[in-house]
Structure 1
Amino acid sequence: MRANGLPPVERIELGAGLTGRVVATVDLLVQEGLAASNGEAAWTSPEWWRFVEADPDHESLYLVIDGADSRPVAAAPALIVRDTRGLLFYNGPRIIGDLSAIGSVSHLAPDEQAALPWLTAGVEAARPALYPSLTVGTFGSNLGLRPFAPGRMTLPVSTVVPALARLAEVVAELVGCRSHALLYLDPEEDAALASDAVVAGLCRSVFGGEGVLDVPDGDFDDYLSMLPSSRRRTIRREIRAYAEFGARTEVDYGPGALTDDHVRLRSALREKYGHTAGQTWARKEFDTLRETVGERLVVFSARGTEQILGYLMAFRFGDVLYTRAAGFDYEASSGAYCYFNVVYYDVIKWAQRNGVRRIHYGLGTTAAKVWRGCTLRPRWAYFGLGPGATPDTSEMIAIQNATASRLLASLGAELEYGSMAGAEAG
């Protein structure tokens, strides 16, 4: 939903001839000329922003950067989060200290393990003072920064990203937020901001790695040929088990692809991560998806002899598929390897048949993604902690960064990219 009671925000000087401001809705952005561009990501599309804007759990607004001629050149979505009830992965203060969001418990060094109890207690005590909080970022684990429209002046990432960080800091204060965060920066965006982090007073941490699969031409055997022989044997065994179980994958498209069969699994997934909104919430979410990105929907459903066993929801933008959410009845499908068949193997087969060249699998379950051929693209987080923070808070972020870095390095991800200042936004 749109943010409540936004005060008027005058143009904010950002340096380099740029100014910034706040816009309340996607519709107002479109009136100013916000337009889709060829090859843009699902998470920066106007359709997706309309979906996020309709979500009742957060208050949304948009940060706009204007050029020297006062015309908009870039925009990014933001959320005002009032307390810990907001979704974990877009709730800056709640992320801090949660190693399931950033970090890896299994990669703690002994001294970090020893410090964890008292640091956790300190962060929990300080957390209430960090709300309300402003998050720059959007559902889909993406910063969301994009050029305003095709044909508008493009600016280097090295200029736009620091300007966005300055804008976020000022807007957070103007709307009464005690902290702010910029989440899910990609390597180019991170390289642009990293040199400014100390000056801006931000704490920096690697967030995780987005799994991206470049789909090979040909058939499924061409995909398997990319993998070591031991993995090929395991995958063939999992495919056989799925078929012998009597399961099959069906693919549906468009607004009608999400049905009541999927509601139960979607609400169960939310409960797994601590959200007990139930099936009423899931039905409302599906209705909003149909209205906003319905024509982009591709839903892969595992069906048994009597019921749906699981599903993967995704969106197609051109020749790229973006996965959004999956849900499974693990008890009913025990031994069938439904998850791996529906999320990976049958999606890859479908992609090869339908001209999709890349699949974005998002963050989390990184080892499983790498094992099945995905490349990991690191994502970074920056936290502006404000006066309510304590030293425990920044120390905890440092531990989260260290353990997340070790996890990604163990999976072969490259975390240092050097200067990318010549790259252009978008």
Structure 2
Amino acid sequence: MMGRHPRWDRLAASFSFYSGSAFLSYGDRNAGRTLSVEATDGDDLVGAIPGWITEGNGHPYLEPTGLLGGLGLAPARYVVLGSPYAFFGEFMLATPDAAPLLVRAARTVQQREDAVGVIGLHLSDGSIDAVVTASARPPLLVGFHAVIDVPASFDEYLAALPSSRRTKIRRERNAFRSAGLTPSVEQIPDCLPELSSLIARSEARHGIRTDSATVAAGLRRQHDCFPDRARVFTARGPSGELLGGVVVHLDEISVHTRIVGLLNERSPACEYFNLGYYQPLLFAIGSNRRRIDLGMEAYPAKLGRGARLEPRWAVDLSDTPLWTPDDARHWNQSKIDALIRLVAHSPNSSNTALVSHLQKIINEPGG
């Protein structure tokens, strides 16, 4: 673990919870070899992004050679920029003028670490512009986060959806109630042994090998590092047994759903949709939060429930470019083509606008 500038959190206050020290302390413990890329002007911190070192043996969504294998990246030592285990990153700049300083700092870290390259992963759309301009490297579209914008009421949420979807959601909520399940919002220690077991079983059903002790250790670290930010939406049966839980992280404006543990993913009580969508939405409405971040993958289910997609990017800041502009253009166009098919029947019109936004980016010089 590398130390961070004493003014890190002053800069991070204008950015995401996932860039602040509370979450990064969890990443430090969980990822091991973490670091900070920092640009300074005198004593002031004017640009920063956290990161870590990888040599190809980490989580598949955090490995450049896995995510970007189609570009021919060879397994090697890389500096990866982003918030460890957040599956999110952002370049924190006090002003756009700090971007060249941050690019230079990233290359200094690459040399210090004797790495083949420096790659930002899962970077937010709004944070890349100045750095992409400063580096003169085209970004790669690597994926999306699905987001539901929180309305004033649950009825307003339903009203924005097609009638067939409204009927389905009402049935899912009624099935949950009819099964006699009790929804609650719990702290991680309140349900840790049961929840860890459910998560490990759910992960195994999706081909991810882990065990309940490993899961419990990670959840305990989250509670230790940011107890006020971590909650679990739970469903308990008539005897108090835990039938499902969804871990969420909270900041001032968002509920971030993180990981799900279910006894039965095909239960007629529809725990997955109630805990993963409707309970977080009701919580956000009640606490005046503005968005539910549903994360990556499982896009059809999320789009069908009114989510919009936010792009996430990879940016190459290496001394020597890792991909060419033509490679990036072909890659990005294939991602946009897949997006067009994905959102063809989305009830949220902003997803159609997103296609136009992304097409403009890749058609720009250097895009």
1:64 is matched with: 38
Q: Which secondary structure does the structure 1 equivalent of 2:288 belong to?
A: coil
| Residue equivalent to 2:348 | none
Partners of 1:380 and 1:223 in 2: CA distance: 29
Distance 2:65 2:254 in 1: 33
Q: Separation in 2 of the partners of 1:140 and 1:357?
A: 20
Shift of 1:38: 5.5
The answer for the alignment partner of 2:182 in structure 1 is 248
Contact 2:123 2:312 survives alignment (8 Å): yes
Q: Determine if the alignment matches structure 1 residue 314 to structure 2 residue 248.
A: yes
- RMSD across aligned positions (CA): 3.0
Find the residue that maps to 1:318 and give its secondary structure: coil
Structure 1 alignment gaps of length 5 or more:
3-23, 98-119, 148-153, 420-426
- Displacement of 1:270 in angstroms is 4.3
Aligned equivalent of 2:26: 51
1:145 corresponds to which of 78, 82, 91: 91
1:73 paired residue number: 46
Aligned to 2:109: 171
1:127 aligns with 2:65: no
259, 262, 274: which is aligned to 1:328? 262
Q: Aligned runs of 1:351-370 on 2, under 5 Å? A: 351-370=284-303
Q: Is the 8 A contact 1:184 1:207 kept in 2?
A: yes
TM-superposed CA distance for 1:223, in Å, is 1.4
Of 116, 119, 140, 1:205 maps to 140
Give the whole-Å Cα distance in 2 for the aligned partners of 1:37 and 1:175.
25
The amino acid across from 1:95 in the alignment is L
User: Which amino acid counterpart does residue 403 of structure 1 have in structure 2?
Assistant: S
Query: Aligned-pair distance for 1:252?
Result: 1.5
**Matched residue type, 2:183:** T
Q: Which residue of 1 aligns with 2:339?
A: 408
Residue among 223, 227, 244 paired with 1:294: 227
What percentage of residue pairs aligned between the two structures are identical? 22
Q: Does 1:91 align with 2:63?
A: yes
User: Is the alpha carbon distance of 1:37 and 1:87 closer, same or farther for their aligned partners in structure 2, counting shifts above 3 Å?
Assistant: closer
Partner of 2:95: 155
Amino acid at match of 1:191: D
Q: TM-score, normalised by structure 1?
A: 0.72
C-alpha distance in 2, partners of 1:35/1:176?
Answer: 30
Cα contact 1:81–1:134 (8 A) shared by 2: yes
Unaligned 5+ segments in structure 2 are 344-350, 362-367
Secondary structure of the structure 2 residue equivalent to 1:236: helix
Q: Which amino acid aligns with 2:332?
A: N
Deviations 1:64-116 (A, max 9, x none): 1112x342122210110022x2011221112123xxxxxxxxxxxxxxxxxxx
- Aligned amino acid, residue 227 of structure 1: L
Contact 1:208–1:379 (Cα < 8 Å) also in 2 = yes
> In the alignment, what sits opposite 2:365?
none
- How many residues are treated as equivalent by the alignment? 347
Aligned to 1:19: none
Secondary structure in 1 matching 2:74: helix
1:257–1:297 CA contact under 8 A, matched in 2: no
